[in-house]
Structure 1
Amino acid sequence: MSKTGNIITGIVSGLAIGATLGVLFAPDKGSKTRKKIKKTAKESKDAIVEKTNEITQQLNNAFSSKQNEFSKELDAMVQNMSYKADDVIDAMEKKLAKLKKENEQIKMN
């Protein structure tokens, strides 16, 4: 998780705790206090869910980006290896042709 994500999560958590404590210590009737706690808890839950979704999206974006980079690098490496394989095949064909000539010369002698 990024520093920004940690900071925002801390702020949201702090706000939720502060709001809950404020409601608990406010001079109000029990039923009103319970309603306020319920409302604060729901708002806190919603904020946490929203932040979790945001962080999940950031992670998905980062993963997708890295996956694309890896795919491009792998394609480039495979293409490079293909060129090298062609070079090796060409060199082996030349060597084979040279060996065939030498073998024909040996047979003639």
Structure 2
Amino acid sequence: MSNNSNTVLGVLAGTAIGAALGILFAPDKGVNTRKKLVDEAVATKESIADTALDIRNTVASTVVANKETLDSKLESLVSDASYKADDVIGQLESKLKELKAKNKKLQKS
């Protein structure tokens, strides 16, 4: 996970723990305390779910961006290789022409 994700999760965990301890040490009836704990647990669960969704979306967009960059680089590499192949073919054709000329000259002799 990234540093930001760890920070967000740490803040959420600290908030949940702090709220739970505050409720436990507050002078209130057991029924009310249990209800507050349940409410806080539900709120924390929803907050964590939202954070997880945000992280998933961030990762998905990063993957898409990196894929596009990779596709672009791959296309550039293939294009460069194609031009280099054309250069090599041109040089080979030139060399073949020279060899044919030499061979023709030798056959006349």
TM-score (norm 1): 0.93
Amino acid of the residue matched to residue 2 of structure 1?
Answer: S
What does the per-residue CA deviation read over 1:47-92, in whole Å, with 9 as the maximum and x for residues that have no partner? 1111111112111112221111111011001000000001111111
Amino acid of the residue matched to residue 34 of structure 1?
Answer: R
Match of 1:19 in 2: 19
In structure 1, distance between residues paired with 2:4 and 2:108: 82
Match of 1:40 in 2: 40
Match of 2:84 in 1: 84
Match of 2:52 in 1: 52
Q: Which runs of 5+ in 2 are unaligned?
A: none
Please provide the CA RMSD for this pair.
Answer: 1.1
1:23 Cα deviation (Å)?
1.3
Equivalent pairs: percent with the same residue?
A: 39
TM-score (norm 2): 0.93
1:4 Cα deviation (Å)?
2.4
Amino acid of the residue matched to residue 63 of structure 2?
Answer: F
Amino acid of the residue matched to residue 38 of structure 2?
Answer: K
Match of 1:2 in 2: 2
